Amino acid sequence: MADDDHSELPTVLVLRRCPFIALLEPKCSQKFNLLKAWDSPLPQDQFLTTHARSVQALLSSGNGPPITAQILQFLPSLKLVVTNSTGLDHVDLAECRRRGIAVANAAKVFAEDVADTAVGLFIDVMRKVSASNRYVRGGLWACRGDYPLGSKIGGKKVGIVGLGSIGLEVAMRLEAFGCSVSYNSRSKKPSLSYQFYSNVCELAADSDALIICCGLTEETHHMINKEVLSALGREGVIVNVGRGAIIDEKEMVECLVGGEIGGAGLDVFENEPNVPKELFSLDNVVLSPHQAIVTHEAFVDLGELVTGNLEAFFSNKPLLSPAVIN
């Protein structure tokens, strides 16, 4: 077979170009025929119809176009969706289940990096790292004197919302700082000693900070609302490394501007890349452009996992990181 002949390779559909696809392509293209929708002059529906029978696997990006029922109906031969994200809110899981389409995600690949970012944001807000950096760079130290006091990390009661792989990594890091950890999750985890709260509002009321690590679902959409934020209180800090829409962003902004909570560290937002402008002037808010997963090491590991999932599928072997879609 000629080097540029991909006709005998399994076909994997990719709907949109993204940095991850560019990173993955050199290795993936040796084993799979990457069918790039963006290279075609055809409208997407016509392109999908043209290739409907040949596409058994689809490679999706968490920040790419959602995998909707409308897209899936054009692909009757599709049997696998592989996404480069841990979250699955961009995939119509109910439709995948109905059509017998398996889904593989990034599993634990990003857990350590996201946990590092979550704890980093927490420390930044509490110790005013970014704010005091601006203070020094603005020449204010010399003319205004010492910067206001920050808050100690050790001894703080931190509630983690979502104690999956990321939440557990966050908890271990916080324990090392001497924090008291409690959590809210879909169910209590008997093997763990952390205090469990079935009600997130009660968790907030008994915490100095909330760190959001859960996925976005119908149940968690706007779960962190005015009631929860009020329970967190005027000194309370919220950190979000999950998904933006888990927090009712409008209500959070109102609480921050009105001094009803103590601060926020945010890596995710409801309408990315649009961030509420009211947050820009608040020194008790630290903002990050959804980059908790962005490390070279994590993307290398992700490439191995994605390639491994596709190889397993086309070899009729178990997927390496099957997502639970029940």
User: Among this protein's residues, is 272 annotated catalytic?
Assistant: yes
User: Among this protein's residues, is 17 annotated catalytic?
Assistant: no
- Which of 175, 227, 235, 272 is the catalytic position? 272
SS3 sequence of the chain: CCCCCCCCCCEEEECCCCHHHHHHHHHHCCCCEEEEHHHCCCCHHHHHHHCCCCCCEEEECCCCCCECHHHHHCCCCCCEEEECCCCCCCECHHHHHHHCCEEECCCCCCHHHHHHHHHHHHHHHHHCHHHHHHHHHCCHHHHHCCCCCCCCCCCCEEEEECCCHHHHHHHHHHHHCCCEEEEECCCCCCCCCCEECCCHHHHHHCCCEEEECCCCCCCCCCCECHHHHHHHCCCCEEEECCCHHHECHHHHHHHHHCCCCCEEEECCCCECCECCHHHCCCCCEEECCCCCCCCHHHHHHHHHHHHHHHHHHHCCCCCCCECCCC
- Which of 16, 221, 222, 290 is the catalytic position? 290
User: Among this protein's residues, is 243 annotated catalytic?
Assistant: yes
- Which of 243, 249, 251, 270 is the catalytic position? 243
Active site residues: 243, 272, 290
